[in-house]
Structure 1
Amino acid sequence: MAPLNIQSTYKMNSGYEIPVLGFGVYQTPPEETEKAVLNALQVGYKHVDSAKYYRNEHECAQAIRASGLKRSDVFYTTKVPTNAMGYQQTKEAIDSSLKTANLEYADLILIHAPYGGREAREGSWRALVEAQKEGKTRSIGVSNYGVHHLDELEEYNKNIGGKIDVGQYELHPWLARPDIVEWFQKRNVVIEAYSPLVQAQKMNDPLLKKLSEKHNKTPAQVLLRWSLQKGFVPLPKSVTDKRIEENAAIFDFELSPEDMQTLSTGEYCPVCWDPTVSKD
């Protein structure tokens, strides 16, 4: 793998590039979001991951404007919520998100989860494909889809000519999702990792602490480095200035193959919701 730094990017199927490290704002209160995102942008992040469901799209965009950076230099993501599945509802949700943020376009819009049934999923995806053609979003993708949902979508794409650019999932050493990862890698789809720090539930894990001491890095930095070396785009979140900065300081060390093997737990332990298993 080529050496990465905070300015490194991956090329998506859309032809656009996505920064290898993102800044997440899930559960960040709106009143704290602008400051946190602005701090992240000042540290060097160029990638902000929001969602309509998070209720902080406006504050994320305010921070982008306040940063002094060009709009084209910041990669901004939002998501279609589960209560807006279906063609017309998704079209309205996309327009609503852009209006809330006061942005002309999003860099990436994802379907947040595969709920609502096949007809609704296909309608939502068609709306995303149209939004991409109309310039409302540069790239499109899905979040929390199981392999059966992805196979369904691939079949539908043959009819409408759409392409998946990004898949976003809860991913960490205790939830590596090898089947989903393999599906995307075969199709050159960029994989994003949300909750890459396991919502701080594993910071005292002996395996992690050992590697933290070995590399003189925090457990969080080790987890984010694991994610990078897996080829994922991790999306850590924090409202603490020091941690925002620490979470970006992951490009000056490397986990060995043995270290990576140590973190191959084989466990399936989500700390968030898990719509991938939905049979609907």
Structure 2
Amino acid sequence: MPQAPLLTLNNGNTIPAVGFGTYPMKDQEVETAVKAALLTGYRLIDTAASYENEPGVGNALQASEIKRKDIFLSTKLRGAEQGYDKARHALDASLQRLNVEYVDLYLIHWPLPAQDLYVESWKAMIAAQKEGKIRSIGVSNFQEAHLERLIQETGVTPAVNQIELHVDFPQTSMLAVNKRLGILTQGWTPLGKGLMDNPTLVRLSEKHNRSPGQIMLRWATQLPAIPLPKSGNPDRMRANLEIFDFTLDADDLAAIAKLDSNNRLGGNPDTYEEF
């Protein structure tokens, strides 16, 4: 079966170069999908408290014959549970819902600067990591100022920053920030919206004998970033993993760069409020 190569985080832990996203799947749907994803070869599973599907993800992990140590499980702290004490309790609740003793990666889902609790939440995560409840700690949707403040006030750099990332919103400046700080980038919504018929991507898919989706995912891995595609279709799951046996050349990447239209599909992290 296909499997993604491993990348090394800034704390020495390793993480698969492609993950399986689970939003907005619920309950039985997510359990079925994660079971299929694990059988297909995925070893990075991404969920969040706000997705309200952690029990289904946990059920799929329990049903799998794959050892827990061979699965990289990631979940996220929701906005309503930010703050030191709340974040501590929220992590314990996620572990219980997932039916695991630890998660490989725990992320602050959004910075929510109006609440101004992300530093206190980060301190709680640092403590939980020392206790062994989390292997790596990171953030999601953080901008440069948020990252700099975390590092300045705690001395601990996030291992990961998961951001919206697709060919028409390539986040060039944030990729550079993450790289400068030694933070690995993950990309949510890596296939964007309405891009499968884009003429540039169709041309490249014909050139490489791949689907437009595979072209976009390979582009993400070459940035480098970890894309988190989601699908309930086992054939598409497999295709989304089978992207490491070809390479986009400089001309391909230059053509894709022209697709940048600053087309943000999700919230702006400086103003977005998530509870």
- TM-score under structure 2 length normalisation: 0.94
Distance of 2:4 and 2:236 partners within structure 1:
19
Partner of 2:268: 274
* 1:55-96 Cα distance to aligned partner (Å, 9 max, x none): 111111221221201100000000000111111111111111
Which consecutive unaligned segments of at least 5 residues does structure 1 have? Answer: none
Distance of 1:170 and 1:7 partners within structure 2:
21
Question: Equivalent residues in 2 for 1:252-263 (5 A)?
Answer: 252-263=245-256
Q: C-alpha displacement at 1:195, in angstroms?
A: 0.4
* 1:171-206 Cα distance to aligned partner (Å, 9 max, x none): 11111112211111112211101100114x211111
Partner of 2:77: 80
* 1:98-129 Cα distance to aligned partner (Å, 9 max, x none): 01111100000000000154741111010111
Q: 2:172 aligns with which of 175, 178, 191?
A: 178
Asked whether the 8 Å contact 1:110–1:142 carries over to 2, the reply is yes
Q: Does 1:154 align with 2:147?
A: no
Distance of 1:113 and 1:9 partners within structure 2:
26
Distance of 1:268 and 1:277 partners within structure 2:
17
Q: Does 1:129 align with 2:123?
A: no
Change (3 A) 1:169 1:65: same
Amino acid paired to 1:234 = P
Change (3 A) 1:71 1:19: same
Cα RMSD of the aligned pairs, angstroms, is 1.6
Please state whether the residue corresponding to 1:263 is helix, strand or coil. helix
Distance of 1:108 and 1:257 partners within structure 2:
33
Partner of 1:227: 220
Partner of 2:96: 99
Which consecutive unaligned segments of at least 5 residues does structure 2 have? Answer: none
Asked whether the 8 Å contact 1:147–1:179 carries over to 2, the reply is no
Asked whether the 8 Å contact 2:4–2:241 carries over to 1, the reply is no
Please state whether the residue corresponding to 2:10 is helix, strand or coil. coil
Identity of aligned residues (%): 37
Distance of 2:49 and 2:82 partners within structure 1:
13
Distance of 2:116 and 2:182 partners within structure 1:
26
Asked whether the 8 Å contact 1:23–1:45 carries over to 2, the reply is yes
Please state whether the residue corresponding to 1:198 is helix, strand or coil. coil
Amino acid paired to 1:169 = I
Distance of 2:272 and 2:97 partners within structure 1:
30
Count of residues in Structure 1 that have an aligned counterpart in Structure 2: 271
